[in-house]
Structure 1
Amino acid sequence: MRTPARLPLDEQLTALRTVLSRNEVLLEVLHRTATLELPGWYLTAGCLFQTVWNVVTDRPPQAGIKDYDLFYFDDTDLSWDAEDAVIRTGREVFDGLPAEVEIRNEARVHLWYEEKFGVPCAPYASTEAAIDSFAATTCCLGVRLEPDDRWRVYAPHGLSDVFGLVVRPNPVLAPRAVYEAKAARWRAQWPGLTVLEWPSGGGGEGGDGGGAGAAGRSAAG
């Protein structure tokens, strides 16, 4: 039987839903988030690809997942008060879950990113654009539930690396040091990972950013 990494993309999408559905917390977060009706929202980053890694390596689906990153995009009100109101509502909606859900409005990232990390971040045009700037292409994955309960998957680099346990650098915003620190941490937990080296002459050598509106921590898990 072929591994999911070698399946055609349409079959990989089916496999992704099957694998992610084994994480009961993740499913509950998806369903509760749908009730918030946030614009352009995705559950993204570590909770997704780490669930896949756990299942592929025969571990409990939730093992090692610290939090669940929820991105949305609302450029109609860029105030902190508006974002904080969503975060506070989220605390009520996700109350009782055995996991922390981190909610961030990706339309606001450029307002605080440079002050916090020392490198500028151009305004994102969408949640998808924010996901595009994670430190590793393997992290560039988002899932949400549409009103008809259909799964919407954003995977600009495909799914083969995710299923194949390959970590590939994405020198767009986050610097090399961030990528290497994340990769080292992941490899310590999933020793079977193949970590590809940062490209020589690649961008993102300076700064201390986390990529994709990481909200002051590692949004990619």
Structure 2
Amino acid sequence: MIDTQLEARPGRRTVVLTAGLGAVGAAAVPVREPVYRDIAGTALDAPPWLRDVVELAAGRGLLALVAAALAIAAVVAVRREWGRFALTVAAGVGAVLAYGASELLKVVVAEERPCRAVAVETVLGCPSPGDWSWPSNHATIAAALATACVLVVPPVWPLVVPVAAAIALARVAGGVHYLHDVLAGAALGVGVTALAAAAVTWVRAGPLGGTRRGQNDQWLR
């Protein structure tokens, strides 16, 4: 029997979100420099406490999402909700795959960091040469972890989604990424993580799981 905890399946909303992030990111490419100047320049002129927030979110914000994901996995394991635990593991694997894909794309595209390409002083120090800009690793991982948490425990979205968004925005405000870098990273993180979770859900609900065809198709809705 299928674990009832597998009802939170990736579906149409995930596809729309991924496509939307990618589309907005593509639309932002032609205006990347002026948008970058506005966001990074505003952060630089902000009060010291706000600059500290940008540095904290950009540098260590991922720790909050990692902690949330580990806490969810621990609770699910303790409660022995094995169907949901399988979804948790699948989403975690998806997050790792998303990060790997972002690293590969960085090498292929080799886009220069805006903090070297655009003459603007920035809150964060510029990464070393060869550490490319597109897509953002931080945004990819943040979106992947937030997606994993939401797929396993949907009610946590008001907690994890704003954190992921803040991390992505902080990478632009800090001066180390263009806006389209973080949007592409977010799309990659959401899409790959959701696909990994969907694959495991489909296998568990498919012929190998011995369920009806109508149930097999639910993850596509």
TM bracket (short chain): under 0.3
Higher normalized contact order (CA 8 Å, seq sep 6+, divided by chain length): 2
Larger strand proportion of the pair: 1
Between Structure 1 and Structure 2, whose CA radius of gyration is higher?
2
Q: Given the two structures, how large is their TM-score scaled by the length of structure 2?
A: 0.21
